[in-house]
Amino acid sequence: MSTKIQKIGVLTSGGDSPGMNAAIRSVVRTCAYHKINCVGIYRGYQGMIEGDFKPMDARSVNNIINKGGTVLKSARCMDFRTKEGRSAAHKQLKAEGIDAFVVIGGDGSFTGAMVFNQEYDFPVIGIPGTIDNDIFGTTFTLGFDTALNTVVEVIDKIRDTASSHNRLFFVEVMGRDVGHIALNAGVGAGAEEILIPEEDLGLERLVESLKRSKESGKSSSIVIVAEGDKTGKNVFELKEYVEKHLPIYDVRVSVLGHMQRGGSPSCYDRVLASRMGVKAVEALLEGKTSLMVGIQDNQLILTPLEMAIKGHTKIDKELIRVSDIMTT
Ligand code: ADP
């Protein structure tokens, strides 16, 4: 591969997700494979501004493919949003001899990378790391599959106790703007209803559906609620509403919270991270820049960062229909 790039930086930025370590490992080892240097940039853009760098060779990433979180740490950095902050980051990169970087993060991190690329013509490639699966240009983001497995495992446990007491559980999962986790985990865990930001089920329909469920002889019910569901009510308000309109139910609430972001990555996320890391480094070596690596139809593709940031993912309508049929 013909390239002037001799040293690539890698950082994780914004919210962490399982699979980030596997992606770091892949970037580091792909650099080693192509005999170029790799530098870990700690604490996202904050570490870039402060020059918090550490050279990484193939052996420095031993035994991290199975670990959740990120060994490079992540951070939210206000200074990178300013020209002065980005100028300081550029000086640090130049001083270290870094020619390009791979950023693993979400759309905020990609916006920072794109702006930096525009200002300094600095080669950058993004890898989508977020459990929300809300990035345009890829069917899967790193961490989504692991988060689904975590959520399904927990809901299975909740169902055990729910059915022992004939209870109704509202389970809140992550997803302020998108319902991908709620919908997929809901179908996977056999939830009675799934409330997501993209579709308004309507509270009356929810009550009707729960009533029918009770009448049909179900011993327990699980309703999955995405954080930003369209009813505009949070899980506790939903509990109150249902208790008021359906006093036959003994209602409980479970908010899953940050456990959804943790844990050892699934095999799918590890493989995806490994593939994306190779693609990101090789894209840089081919002279490509300001692109995000994604996966579509099991093929790795590159999407301009600008499109990845501006585009919106769509909820799977077919899966909504499947969910409706399954609750018959
Ligand atoms: P995520 O990458 O998970 O969406 P954030 O939205 O917090 O997380 O973004 C991560 C970091 O990216 C921010 O802390 C900031 O340093 C940088 N960033 C986000 N938006 C911009 C922007 N408009 N300009 C420059 N940097 C940005």
pLDDT > 70 in the chain, percent: 99
Specify whether the CB–CB gap between 113 and 103 falls below 8 A.
Answer: yes
**pLDDT over 80 at 180, yes or no:** yes
Does 29 count as an annotated binding residue?
yes
Is the pLDDT assigned to residue 3 strictly greater than 70? no
Does the C-beta of 81 come closer than 6 Å to ligand 1? yes
- Position 122 scores a pLDDT of 98
- Residue 41 Cα to ligand 1 midpoint, Å, equals 16
Query: Which pLDDT score, from 0 to 100, does residue 12 have?
Result: 98
Q: What is the pLDDT of residue 218?
A: 81
Asked if 177 and 228 count as a contact pair (C-beta separation under 8 A), the reply is yes
What's the confidence (pLDDT) of residue 217?
82
Determine whether the annotation assigns residue 130 to a binding site. yes
User: Active site includes 132?
Assistant: yes
pLDDT in tens, 217-228: 887 899 999 999
Determine the distance separating the centroid of ligand 1 and the alpha carbon of 48, expressed in angstroms. 13
The confidence score (pLDDT) of residue 21 equals 98
Mutate to test the pocket of ligand 1, among 76, 114, 306, 310 (most ligand atoms within 8 A of CB): 76
Ligand 1: centre distance to CA 13 (Å): 8
Query: Nearest C-alpha to atom 12 of ligand 1 is from which residue?
Result: 109
Between strands 100-105 and 124-128, the pairing is: parallel
The response to whether 131 counts as a known ligand-binding position is yes
The CATH class that applies to domain 147-261 reads: alpha beta
Least confident of 223-232, 254-263, 290-299: 223-232
Pick the residue whose CA is nearest to atom 26 on ligand 1. 112
Class for the domain spanning 7-143+265-310: alpha beta
Q: Does 94 show up as a binding residue in the annotation?
A: no
Convert 88-105 to b/e letters by CB count within 10 Å (16 or more is b).
Answer: bbbebbeebebbbbbbbb
Per-residue pLDDT, averaged over 22-48, amounts to 98
Ligand 1 contact, 45 CB (< 6 A): yes
- CB of residue 12 inside a 6 A radius of ligand 1: no
Taking the C-alpha atoms of residue 9 and residue 25, their distance in angstroms, rounded to an integer, is 12
> How far apart are the CA of 116 and the centre of ligand 1, in A?
12
Q: Could you give the residue range(s) of every CATH 3.40.50.450 domain in the chain?
A: 7-143+265-310
Query: Considering 132, 145, 229, 269, which one is annotated as catalytic?
Result: 132
Cut 0.85: pTM above it: yes
Secondary structure class of 23 (helix, strand, coil): helix
Half-sphere exposure of 113 (CA within 13 A, CB side): 33
Determine what percent of the chain is predicted with pLDDT higher than 90.
Answer: 85
The answer to whether the CB of 303 is under 6 A from ligand 1 is: no
Nearest CA to ligand 1 atom 5: 108
109, 174, 177, best to mutate for ligand 1 pocket (most atoms within 8 Å of CB): 109
The segment(s) of the chain belonging to CATH 3.40.50.460 are 147-261
pLDDT in tens, 114-145: 999 999 999 999 999 999 999 999 999 999 99
pLDDT, mean of residues 157-186:
93
- Angstrom distance (rounded) from CA 21 to CA 72: 8
Other residues' Cβ atoms within 10 Å of the Cβ of residue 194: 27
